[in-house]
């Protein structure tokens, strides 16, 4: 007859329960593809802080806020080669340049794009408004953004991407970076010893999702086509300011599409499973890419609804 082990003491039961709860939380934490450094030998201007660790706050349910970024990266979400369209997008999350909201404005959208045949790269850029920061938007955050666009094009063959179908989409502060990238770009330095720097940093399209500082946006003929989305209840520089930006694009003859969602404010991002109109904006963005000739369906496939 098998002898049963003695019952655990009360303290042992509590420890076991704590272990099981912690194990459950760890199991819920989503796995992400490996990050790729924009500058493998260190980002220019970050030398003095290169040894500092990032701060990561995550609840294990999709929320992931990051601060203290000194090693900018991209996280690639590549589609199955059978459904790949050759189109790629750099995703710039928001956070007021104080933090990076890499969950609902980064990783979840990166996976959605990959599931829909679009190669996505979630950008981790340096923060200009973080307490104690010595970075600026133009010299560091924008340097990271432009470097990421060049890096994607440099690996186009490896990642199954067409170099003339590389765009950017940004949220809030990241939307500012997307707009600035479209406003000011270059074709690369042909004589650079760094092959990445020989690539163009001009986005072929831009997605501006509730970006701030709309009064700083300028539009000229020949700029990349734009997709704009924001909430009616957002702050005035967005809910009214982006409508004025739309008119600037219209007057300059730059193709633009705008969606205003009447029942949301700032920061709606993308949450899998959302059934609201605002929650389905990625599908509208994808339709716009198709209508604009930037995205072509692989043979034998059809568009799928937002999920």
Q: How many domains does the chain have?
A: 1
Say whether pLDDT at 10 is over 70. no
Quick check: is 215 in a domain? yes
> CATH number, domain at 153?
3.40.50.1820
Q: Over the stretch 182-198, which tens digit does the pLDDT of each residue have?
A: 999 999 999 999 999 99
Say whether pLDDT at 268 is over 70. yes
pTM of the model: 0.88
Is residue 96 within 8 A of residue 173, CB to CB? The reply is: yes
Quick check: is 260 in a domain? yes
Mean predicted confidence (pLDDT) in 216-242: 98
Say whether pLDDT at 23 is over 80. no
pLDDT band at 307 (very low <50, low <70, confident <90, very high): very low
Q: Which residue has the higher pLDDT, 15 or 123?
A: 123
Quick check: is 307 in a domain? no
Quick check: is 46 in a domain? yes
Quick check: is 259 in a domain? yes
pLDDT band at 32 (very low <50, low <70, confident <90, very high): confident
Mean predicted confidence (pLDDT) in 284-302: 86
Which pLDDT value is given to residue 63? Answer: 81
Which pLDDT value is given to residue 305? Answer: 42
Q: Over the stretch 77-86, which tens digit does the pLDDT of each residue have?
A: 999 999 999 9
Quick check: is 148 in a domain? yes
Quick check: is 28 in a domain? no
Quick check: is 105 in a domain? yes
Structural domain range at position 126: 33-291
Please give the mean pLDDT across all residues of the chain: 90
């Amino acid at each position: 007859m098998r002898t049963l082990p003695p019952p655990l003491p009360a303290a042992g039961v509590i420890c076991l329960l704590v272990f099981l709860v912690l194990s459950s939380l760890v199991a819920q934490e989503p796995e992400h593809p490996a990050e790729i450094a924009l500058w493998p030998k260190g980002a220019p201007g970050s030398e003095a802080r290169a040894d500092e660790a990032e701060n990561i706050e995550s609840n294990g349910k999709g929320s992931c806020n990051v601060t203290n970024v000194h090693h900018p990266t991209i996280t690639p979400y590549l589609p199955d080669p059978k459904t790949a369209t050759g189109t790629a997008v750099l995703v710039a999350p928001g956070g007021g340049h104080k933090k990076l909201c890499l969950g609902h404005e980064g990783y979840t959208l990166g996976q959605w794009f990959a599931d829909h045949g679009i190669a996505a790269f979630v950008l981790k850029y340096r923060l200009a408004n973080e307490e104690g920061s010595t970075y600026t938007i133009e010299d560091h955050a924008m340097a990271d953004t432009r470097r990421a666009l060049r890096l994607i094009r440099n690996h186009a063959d490896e990642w199954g991407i067409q170099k003339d179908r590389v765009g950017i989409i940004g949220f809030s502060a990241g939307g500012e970076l997307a707009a600035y990238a479209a406003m000011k770009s270059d074709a690369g330095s042909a004589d650079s010893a760094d092959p990445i720097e020989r690539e163009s940093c001009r986005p072929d399209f831009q997605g501006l999702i509730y970006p701030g500082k709309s009064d700083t946006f300028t539009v000229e003929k020949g700029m990349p086509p734009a997709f704009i989305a924001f909430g009616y209840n957002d702050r005035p520089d967005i809910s009214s300011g982006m409508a004025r930006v739309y008119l600037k694009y219209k007057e300059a003859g730059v193709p633009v599409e705008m969606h205003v969602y009447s029942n949301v404010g700032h920061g709606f991002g993308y949450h899998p499973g959302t059934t609201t109109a605002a929650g389905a904006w990625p599908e509208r963005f994808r339709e716009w890419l198709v209508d604009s000739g930037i995205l072509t369906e692989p043979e034998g496939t059809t568009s799928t609804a937002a999920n």
